[in-house]
Structure 1
C-alpha cells in the first residue's frame, strides 16, 4: 500500500437528529427516597438527561431535585415517578434552550 493511498472504506457518520426541546423539572422527595429517585431517573432518561442537581431542604429531611431532560424524557420521568414514588412532589416545569 502506498503511503498516500486512502482507505477504500469510510466510517459511517452518526445520524444527526433535530434538536429536541429541553425542560427543567423540579421534584421534591423525602431523603429516604433519594437513591431510588436517582436510579429511576437514570434508568428512565438515559442520555436524555442533561443534568441532575440535588439540594437538601427542610433540615435535610427532604431533597429538592432539578432535572434537565428532553421532551420525550419529561413525560416518561413523570409517569415513572408518579408510579413508583407517589409521595414525590412535582414543582415548576419550564422549557429551556434546545439540547
Structure 2
C-alpha cells in the first residue's frame, strides 16, 4: 500500500486508486488513514465555479474533462453541475463518430 499512498500524495483521486487496485473507495480511504495521510479537502462546485464551467463548456467548447482538470474536480462532478444548471450536454467524444 506504499505505492497507493505515494500516488494519493501526488494527486491521484481515491476513486481512481480504488479502480487501479481493485478496492472500494472507502477501503482506499481506510488505508490512507492508517498510513497517517491527511485527506485532501473536497473542492465544491460553488455558483462561481458552475458559472465558469458553463462558460467554458458552452462558449469555449471545452470538454468536462478539460474543465475538471482546470478546476481540480472530476469530470463527472462538472457534468453533474452543468446538468443541474440545465445545460444541454454534448455527446461523449467516443460516441460522436457513431452517429453516421
TM-score by length of 2: 0.27
Task: Return the structure number with greater helix share.
Answer: 2
Structure whose residues are more often strand by fraction: 1
Structure scoring higher RCO (CA < 8 A, sep ≥ 6) equals 1
Q: Give me the TM-score of the superposition, normalised by structure 1.
A: 0.28
